[in-house]
Chains A and B, each alone.
Chain A
Amino acid sequence: MKKVLSIACVILIIAALLMPVVSADSKYIIDSASLLNDSETAEVDDALAGVSGKYGIDVMVFTLSDYQQFFEENYNENFSTIDDAAEFVCKDLLQNPDNVILMISMSGRDWCIASNEKGHDAFTAYGREYIGDAINDDLHDGDYKKAFIKFANLADDFIAEYEKGTPYDTNHKKMTMTDYLFRFGIPLGAGLIISLIVVIAIRSKYKPVRLKAEANDYLIQGSLQVHQAYDRFIYTSVSRTRKAKSSSSSSHDSGSFGSTSGKF
């Protein structure tokens, strides 16, 4: 209870700095960029508060119009990357060192997920990239509430797995139904297709009897004479297909802190 109160105090301080755009009731979301209305903010805050209170790891969302301008004006800090700004928040602004935050900066359409201490143990580079990929499309489409709720739900799942003893990581990947299909369906499909080709090839070898389509064996050598030949260009058609999108995120880890950022 004491911990929750101390977190609330810090949040209130930050919220005061971000006034007047932040609802006074929000504790785990600071919507400086005004991406959500009041009801959406309350809904996201409830989701984040639920996860944070459940595990003792602060799970927070910050939205800023321009992170460089914000930290320069309010903290006299110049950050060249959103990762540096997120590290400053995780380590210096939040009282609870066990935290994971999602920071959005609208000027450059940047997102960053940063994790510290126990948060860093629960959210490895793999985990942050996984969540970043999961919310990138919603951020791109402007569905911020959906992205933030998804962030809260995934954070719940990731911390729960960490609490069980083995956080999600490259050697312990989070599996969805699609992942299971991908992981087992591709080998099975490859096996079926290759086996089918082999079986069809074998069957055709057992049915070699067929009519000859041509009489090339009976062409008199040297009898061919070409009297007329031309190649004329008729027309050209061009088709295009859109490339698969990639969030192009990058991760950095140092000691007990790590961050992953990308653009939406």
Chain B
Amino acid sequence: MAEIFEYKCPCCGGAISFDAGAQKMKCPYCDSEFDPQAFINQDERLKGQAPDEFNWGGSAGQEWDEGETANMNVFVCKSCAGEIVCDENTAATECPYCGNPVVLSGRLSGMLKPDYVIPFRHDKNSAKETLKKYVNSKKFAPGAFKSENKLEEIKGIYVPFWLFDSDTDAAVNYVATTVHTWSDSEYNYTETSFFDVFREGSMSFANIPVDGSTQMPDDLMESIEPFDFGGAVDFQTAYLAGYLADKYDVTMEDSIDRANNRVKSSAEDVLRSTIDFPYATVTPKSSSIQVNNGKAKYALYPVWLLNTDYRGTKYSFAMNGQTGKFTGNLPVSGAKLAALFGGLTVGIGAIVYVVGTLLGLL
């Protein structure tokens, strides 16, 4: 049975959460600050407590169909007794009634407990400001989109990642070319020489992250990389207070292929960088990659996320909660782009015509 953790301020009793700016637990009511380590014992104590239960009678509503509630859970807020409905993967959230941050500790225990967590270093205001600048800097985004996006809905989420370490042996064959040109009175000549280039070597990778949540788009998560694992700490639930958090629903085994693909591509790139001769082209022809001593870790990484709809299409924006790197696809105004295309075509065409005429080329 999952449990709800709420961290109370020892001074005033208010609900406290992890403050990214101060890197401490902070009470929003009396501004008291506490080291997250101080709450470890509290976590242990709370584990022994049974969750509250509230059973309501009456004939309102109707029975759930079989299996309909399989992925849903109901928790009760310890501050206001409000019911929190969430799916089976939610590990931390906030009460929709009183706004208190809660951690559903049962979701993170045992086999599912993360090894590490990178605490948020950028707070919500920073995320909102970055998003605002990002959208406003895009002159060809539709005006309606800029006004419609809801900055307040940006959420801080701890996203589950599998981190892969490996020692990699790689052997890669490349086909490289050099090109030499010359001419005589009748012909232009092009001589292309082909080379078989071989490189074999070893290298090590550490903490290659692979998104462990199906709810997070993999391309979005990889677009806000890199994460600096140097900022990771041993996992403590206290860091989750005030943020949403998911547990993984993609297993480590299912994530390995993604890591392997990235290792293979990097190994080819890295060995290619050892080719000193200035070939005209270098193309991988075949490669053999062996991953040894592969290890995986489970960690939660901080991400600010905003999902918004524009004319029926969902747009997601994400900011790396550790580095502040921001990304997200934006719609492009067809009218603005068409106007630019037409204007440029006429303008450049006129310039080429005038210059060509003045130089006697046209």
Q: Which residues of A are in contact with B by a Cβ distance under 8 Å?
A: 170, 182-184, 186-188, 190-192, 194-196, 198-199, 202-203, 205-220, 223-243
Contact = CB atoms under 8 A, between A and B. Distances in A.
B206 A186 contact: no
Contacts of A237: 191-192, 194
Residue among B185, B194, B220 facing the most chain A CB atoms (10 A cut-off)? B194
Interface of A is mostly: mixed
B294 interface: no
Given A206-B331, A219-B266, A240-B188, A211 B218 contact: yes
Given A206-B331, A214-B262, A218-B205, A228 B352 contact: no
B219 A209 contact: yes
A218 B207 contact: yes
A190 B352 contact: yes
B263 interface: yes
A223 B204 CA distance: 6
Given A210-B219, A213-B265, 16 more contacts: A170-B360, A186-B352, A187-B349, A191-B346, A198-B344, A202-B340, A207-B330, A208-B327, A209-B327, A210-B222, A215-B263, A215-B266, A216-B266, A216-B270, A229-B274, A242-B187
A233 B266 contact: no
Residue among B271, B349, B353 facing the most chain A CB atoms (10 A cut-off)? B349
A224 B327 contact: no
B203 A188 contact: no
B196 interface: yes
Contact of B274 (A198, A205, A226): A226
Interface string B231-254: 000000000000000000000000
5 nearest A-B pairs in the assembled complex, by CB-CB distance? A191-B349, A217-B226, A215-B262, A195-B344, A223-B204
24 contacts: A183-B362, A188-B345, A190-B349, A191-B346, A191-B347, A191-B352, A202-B340, A203-B337, A206-B140, A208-B327, A210-B219, A214-B262, A215-B259, A215-B265, A216-B270, A218-B209, A219-B266, A219-B270, A220-B203, A227-B202, A228-B200, A231-B196, A240-B187, A242-B187
Given A194-B344, A212-B222, A225 B329 contact: no
A190 B348 CA distance: 7
B226 A238 contact: no
Nearest to A220: B204
Contacts of A239: 189-190, 192
A211 to B, nearest CB: 5
B236 to A, nearest CB: 25
A188 to B, nearest CB: 5
B2 interface: no
B349 A206 contact: no
Contacts of A186: 352, 356, 362
Contacts of A194: 344, 348
B201 A225 contact: yes
A212 B262 contact: yes
Contact of B195 (A192, A209, A214, A232): A232
Contacts of B171: 228
B320 to A, nearest CB: 12
B151 interface: no
Contacts of B176: 231
Contact of A229 (B185, B198, B217, B347): B198
B322 to A, nearest CB: 13
A202 B183 CA distance: 40
Contacts of A198: 340, 344
Contacts of B138: 205-206
Nearest to A191: B349
A212 B202 CA distance: 22
A212 B183 CA distance: 44
Nearest to B188: A241
A59 to B, nearest CB: 28
A199 B344 CA distance: 10
Contact of B140 (A202, A229, A232, A233): A202
